[in-house]
Structure 1
Amino acid sequence: MSRRRFARSAARRGPVRQARDDESPPSYDINAGNRLAITARFASGTIEVRRRGGQRFTLQDSGQLRLRDKLVTRAGAQLTLLLPGHQWVVLRGAARLLSIPRRGASSGKVHIALLRGVIRARGNQRGGGVTIHQGRRRVHTASGEMRLRLRAGGALAVSSIDATVDVSGPHAPRVVSAGSGLVLDQRPGFAHALLSAPTSLRPVVFRGPRAPRLRWKTVASARRYRVLVGRDADFFQIVERADITSTSYTPRLSGLSGKFYWKVIALGEAKRGAPSKIYGFRIEKNDD
């Protein structure tokens, strides 16, 4: 790069500010340029931004981000993206910005590709939500909070979850290891996942060609269990109701063909729409 071009580039970036040890963590408003309604914060270390064409810089040098930027945390740094509608994403590792709400939007969908590391995300039920991509896999939280880790082999491990979550992709998700959360993989012909919630079970949507087998560990009392099925994420009809008196139940979806969405909800007997207190819930592969 020539001296003249370097001087113009430095003038656009502005002076490099060195933070003192006694100062609060730096915060960058990255609305400038592309008007992304998002703020980046980090407490220590370095956040490196990589762009196509080989351009690289750190967030100490510039406060502007663009879509498709690759964000890489260095030296134990943690990047927090504050989004409209009380949504946020915390990154440790490497990710790429795919879609961010514009300035002034009270809600909107956030799409981030997780390349490696861990992401914590909180969505917004009012038309928003955070979607984490890994290849053709994706996990979406419309409300509440989730924590995802990219494991070896490309599996998305959700180690903690308190959210309405939509798991989707080219095939139904499958659990690759057990734990206190969801561990997801996409393989043909499977509908398999594990969910543990400490106090209540929120709706979970599974997209796939097979009906799941349902198992649970502890139920406070006999509860009514509903399995809802529909052709899109917005319309569901009740297929079966069952009282939870045993530890296993497989819904009979006779007469249905094609690719459907299964939405499994635990309901109290009296309170319609309220979650029941199921402490452990498993959806397994159905070979029948």
Structure 2
Amino acid sequence: MSYIGRFAPSPSGPLHFGSLVAALGSYFQAKANNGKWLVRIEDLDPPREMPGASSLILNTLDAYQLHWDGEVVYQSQRHGLYQEQIDAWLASGQAYYCQCTRKQIKASGGFYTGTCRDLGLNNSSHCAIRLKMTHPVYHFDDRKHGQLTIPKALADEDFIIKRRDGLYAYNLAVVLDDIDQGITEVVRGADLIEPTGRQISLYNMLGQTPVSYLHLPLALDSNGHKLSKQNHAPAIDNSNPKPALLDAMRFLGFAMSTDIEQSDISEIIAWGVKTWQIKQLSDSIEITPRFSNSSL
């Protein structure tokens, strides 16, 4: 099977160092396997999106010489695909409406316990839609870290596939899109290890073979928090990309000579593709990077 990988950012802001690491890791893994590298904009949550962020993200990838294959896919244009599957599950009884609030679930221990499974609620109640968990996944194999365990309470939970505000849930959309686009391996940050179990369970429920997974080390700030848009991680520089690129490649375990560091961006990326190996990644799931560029 031909390798197809992807990078799937959400347009809640510009790319930061952590998202650059994810983009580079997925790009190098795809191209080192002579595969395709797709870009998908995961614009599922309009209230959290920043105007113009999608275009800014694509411009940043161009600035860093990370050129994608094919057309960019936008989740906001794929609602029909998601709703069709939800309707099929509702009709078969695999999915059901749920009126429980986050506050109620938190009060009952933090995990949903199936309260609405057999109530026969309908959409007039302004409910979320949950999927009956019939194929729980308690562990999976990661290409770098070996077998990783999913907490039982999380694995057993009937999780939301459509929110009560009408927005489609990430886990559903990402799996349906990965299947539709023929993705063979998902390379992403270690912050998404826990949702992986739910995503594999969806593959199983859909009668599809799950993709393989490679979770990259998660970049932390000096306080031990994930570098993220929510934590106000600064945007990487499109006008002077080399410092952030070299820092991100060092973070991914590349040992670069002075000659490579002095090359232009396209040459550095091409060298990265030729020398990339999964074993160069740190065994740690979380790392606080040391930046050579004080602007990061």
Give the TM-score, by structure 1 length.
Answer: 0.27
Structure (1/2) with the larger helix percentage: 2
Structure (1/2) with the larger strand percentage: 1
Give the TM-score, by structure 2 length.
Answer: 0.27
Answer 1 or 2: higher relative contact order, Cα 8 Å, separation at least 6. 2
The structure having more radius of gyration, on CA atoms, is: 1
